[in-house]
Amino acid sequence: MLEGAEASRLIKAVTEQAYNAVLITDGALSSGGPSIVYCNPAFCRMTGYERSELLGRSPRLLQGPDTDPAVIDSLRQALRQGRFWEGSTVNYRQDGEPYFVNWSISPIVDDCGQVSHFVSIQQDITSRVRAETERDMLIQALNQAHDPVLVTDRDARIVFANAAFEELTGYRTEEVIGQTPALLSSGEQGPDFYRTMWQTLNSKRPFQARFINRRKDGSRYYVEQSIAPVLNKGGSLTHFISTSWQVDELVEREKALVDMATRDKLTGLLTRRAGDDALLRAHQEHLGKDTPLSVIICDIDHFKQVNDRHGHLSGDRVIREVAGLIERQLRAGDPAIRWGGEEFLIMVQASSGVALGLAERLRSAVEHFHDPKVGQVTLSLGVAEILPGESIEQLLGRADGALYRAKRSGRNCTISAAGN
């Protein structure tokens, strides 16, 4: 245990060599006191004063225009009450430059129980305050931004979300902090999409794409999103920052343009060109996965007479009604195509047996339909299933031949192509 002179020398060495500024004043609170009786080199470096310029003077010489009066009042009250105090404000160096200081003051009591001195430990926190101020300004700017901004750590845990993000997604910031952006996933973009995203980001390159996301209430929305990796001075990945802008209206316009190009204006079914593309894709899948593929070609019976007797408006109405009846009978994933004027093609990704059953349901549904002006309407249908090594053209030729035989057989009937 250190005692006497040895302890004194150690205490002096500690205060003289301390990284933090140390200031000791006497305990006099009157006549402008207390006065400085000791300051260490760190205090001199912080304030720009020589020790000789500080001893015997009041610490008030460090105060200036931006020193917070409320902080000083709180300090003085603590000194008068002889209790510990801690706070921060702006002080001024000898050259007039302001700095932010955080300090704690402890009263030193003598053997009689009276406060004889005050010891203050001080830190220059200017860099920290400026960093916090810049951060707060950045947060304020990001919160005022019109577009959503999201920041995650390198493990993709959300650390910041701005007000626009809250407005778009319906999630409050406190609900998403610590979560990953996966909570926004709609499930409509597969693993390959996100694998590509992470491969790009982990290679420290930005990633931009259209995301299909889901709000807190379950509704879907589209955003063009740009995600940038944030690197520290050493080049290590620390965060990701994402900015996005909602493109729901753009997507709707794009869909409308696609529909104009791929959907028949009268019936809403696929156009012949779009149907050709769908058949090509189905044929490629058939070749790649050996999946079954059948087609139904059907034609409204005696349609020329409908136009000749009742006019083209009635003819258009009948085509539209028959198209609606066909579409309501179809399975999901089996597209209907307006193949010609009054001719339709249905692509069925199943065997000819399934396709024949569907064709008969179509025939029956149309047979039981009566147009108020034209009367009964019927269909003739030809069905064909693709054969090994057969092209789309050959498949369609056999289905068309079956349709021709159905018409020759009295119409209002379904015939399967030879070879099925």
State how far the Cα of 298 lies from the Cα of 171, in Å rounded to an integer.
Answer: 51
State how far the Cα of 62 lies from the Cα of 99, in Å rounded to an integer.
Answer: 10
Give the tokens for residue 150: 């999201």
Give the tokens for residue 295: 């087609």
What is the DSSP secondary-structure string of 125-162? -HHHHHHHHHHHHHHHHHHH-SS-EEEEETT--EEEE-
Is residue 321 flagged as an active site residue? no
Helices of type H across 1-97: 4-17, 41-47, 51-54, 69-81
Q: How far is CA 69 from CA 75, 91, 125, 197, 315, in A?
A: 10, 12, 19, 54, 90
Three-state DSSP at 379 gives strand
Q: How far is CA 217 from CA 166, 170, 176, in A?
A: 12, 7, 14
Total residues belonging to the chain: 420
Backbone angles phi, psi at 242, to 5 degrees: -120, 130
**Comparing C-alpha atoms, which of 243, 250, 193, 245 is closest to residue 223?**
245
Catalytic residue among 321, 342, 367, 393: 342
What is the DSSP secondary-structure string of 219-234? -EEEEEEEEEEEE-TT
Is residue 299 within 8 Å of residue 342, measured between CB atoms? yes
State how far the Cα of 333 lies from the Cα of 322, in Å rounded to an integer.
Answer: 19
**Comparing C-alpha atoms, which of 112, 100, 111, 94 is closest to residue 39?**
94
- As beta bridge partners, residue 210 has 224
Backbone angles phi, psi at 29, to 5 degrees: -110, 0
**Where in the sequence numbering do the catalytic residues fall?**
342
